[in-house]
Structure 1
Amino acid sequence: MNKSDLVVLIPTFNESQRIGSVVSAIRDHGYSVLVVDDGSSDDTAEEARRFGAEVLTSPVNHGKGATLTRGFDYFLGKDHPVLVIMDGDGQHDPQELDRFLEAMNSPAADVVVGNRMQNPEGMPWERRLTNRLMSWVISKLAGQTIPDSQCGYRALKREVLTEVALRSRRFEIESEMLLEAAKAGFRIASIPVRSVYGGEKSQIRPFSDTCRFLRFLILYFFRENFSKKHKVS
């Protein structure tokens, strides 16, 4: 696979101040960009288009999971074999896209997740703590070691998206994606990545996100057990 085989998907919500530079940097590295804007009230969509991204828009905000799912459906309507997901706020470094592509060329990886925990410098301590806990739980459930299950910077082969069924409409989709991929027999690898934490207010709220994560796990557990019992009967 080469650069033309990979598309970068960016879900956005009110990122007009940063999305232009992010799209520009990705395109400078030779990759195509698909921005799915989730009902922004600013000029995010216009800025993304101005810097060369293909853009899908929504009149209202649906949540990250719903936005990613829309991007997945659009991606599957094309013929690219690899999709990389990254944030539009500048936290993910486009220079690392080449390393994702290199990892995806390995037959031992169907999903590649960025690992910020190998060098968590600059990551707020409360985020570091909750992330380690969530990653430990997801690794146990998936039966594979995933050091940073909550990192949104990740790559997936086309086959993964055609096989897994995703239901989450918000941030929980990042955990669901890994659990469903592992359940389907796909191999999950990790590569170290660097995240840039600026002074802007984060959309991540450790306490509420942990509660939402626990709720997701409970619902996922019951859903899986119900499905198994239904198949048996």
Structure 2
Amino acid sequence: MKPKSSGNSHQDSENNQKRSTIAQKAYVETPSNLTTGETLIGIPAYNEGTTIRPVVEAAKRYASEVIVIDDGSTDNTVTEAIEAGATVVQHEINRGYGGALMSIFRIAQDKQVDQLVILDGDGQHDVSDVPKLVKKQKETEANIVIGSRFAGGKSGSIPLYRLIGLRLIALLVNIIFKHAYNMKAISDTQSGFRVYDKEAINSIAEESSIASDMGASVNILFHAANKGYEISEVATNINYNVIDANTHDPIRHGFMIISNLLEKLIKDKPKKILGLTGSLFVMFGSCAYVLILIAPSNVIEFPSIVNVLPVFVLSLFIISVILLK
């Protein structure tokens, strides 16, 4: 793990080594409270030292064991998570969100759990909604249950630029799912708050191509589509006012998601790509342009919103034509 910079490099090195040792002992020596068939909560974390403790403490109420994957943090995430009662597994280098997720799935597979709950470590997910998602999975026997910001037609207090970006990406994903996989629409394709059953856990743990940074959330949905998995959703709220919440450049993030979409479509359904490629590029162009126009000035600069309307309307028209074919 890369040491945090300070004026005393020798002391930093010693502290860093101590934290690494503690993390390894927490995983190797701490006896697991989990028995086969129970629910495990997994939390990918990177520099979440200010928020991870309350998240772990809240999560412990709903599972026999909480595992935190520290993805090469340079702050006190490891110490805070251990002191809060989590089992911590530490990546020596940052592997990205997808890499942290894969570590969680492989641990869940080894422990042979029936349900795996994934939560973010920044406090944005409402941990008290875990029982709702777990109950939904048991009642419906769905392979994946998603905590959705949009289920029931609600969008809460999502910032406008983020709301439009999420909606547009969900539209693109659902167009592909409908025409290439005959899947029903998913309202929140980007939500990382999910519950997985044993079948999904085992198959995802074996799928190395899923580990693709923040694109892992969509990659998992493509994996589910190929497997014919049942996906259900439960309404939940996301807190966007937490300290040090994870944020991503909306344009860069959008390009990465669309790139993953096209890569998956070409690989899985090559005959479908010709009918969808043009519309996806047009729609994504609108998505990027809208985000440029409405994102806060400290994220990206933007001109007048009037300029976006013709492009946006044209894109919706093209998509509508495709859907009506």
Q: Structure 2-normalised TM-score? A: 0.65
Deviation of the 1:49 alpha carbon:
0.9
Matched with 1:208 is 252
Identity %, equivalent residues:
26
Query: Matched residues in 1 for 2:169 and 2:189: separation?
Result: 7
Question: Counterparts of 2:246 and 2:52 in 1: how far apart (Å)?
Answer: 16
Runs of 4 or more consecutive aligned structure 1 residues displaced over 4 Å after TM superposition = none
SS of residue paired to 1:105: helix
State which of 205, 209, 222 in structure 2 corresponds to 1:179: 222
Which residue in the other structure is 2:268 paired with?
A: 224
Whichever of the two has the greater Rg, that structure is 2
Shift of 1:100: 0.9
Aligned residue in 1 for 2:5: none
Show CA shifts across 1:152-203 (max 9, x none). 1011111013234241320111001011112201100000001111164642
> The residue matched to 1:172 in structure 2 has which SS?
helix
1:35 aligns with 2:79: no
CA contact (8 A) 1:62 1:169 kept: no
Match of 1:44 among 70, 74, 77: 77
Classify the secondary structure of the residue corresponding to 1:36: strand
Cross-structure match for 1:230: none
Runs of at least 5 residues in structure 1 that lack an aligned partner in the other structure: 227-233
Q: Distance in 2 between matches of 1:196 and 1:202?
A: 11
Unaligned ranges ≥5, structure 2: 1-36, 178-182, 271-325
1:131 aligns with 2:166: yes
Greater relative contact order structure (CA < 8 Å, 6+ sep): 1
Match of 1:161 in 2: 201
Matched, 1:100 2:133: yes
Rate the CA distance shift 1:202–1:19 in 2: closer, same or farther, 3 A. closer
Q: Does 1:152 align with 2:164?
A: no
Contact 1:37/1:45 (8 A) holds in 2? yes
Find the aligned partners of 1:59 and 1:123 in 2 and give their Cα distance. 34
Structure with the larger helix share? 2
Aligned-pair Cα RMSD in Å = 2.0
Q: Distance in 2 between matches of 1:191 and 1:177?
A: 18
User: Are residues 1:190 and 2:233 paired?
Assistant: yes
| AA at the equivalent of 1:91 | Q
> In structure 2, how many angstroms separate the alpha carbons of the residues matched to 1:159 and 1:201?
32
Distance apart, 1:77 and its partner CA: 0.3
Residues 18-38 of structure 1: CA distance to partner in whole angstroms, max 9, x if unpaired? 100100011134542110010
SS, match of residue 207 in structure 1: helix
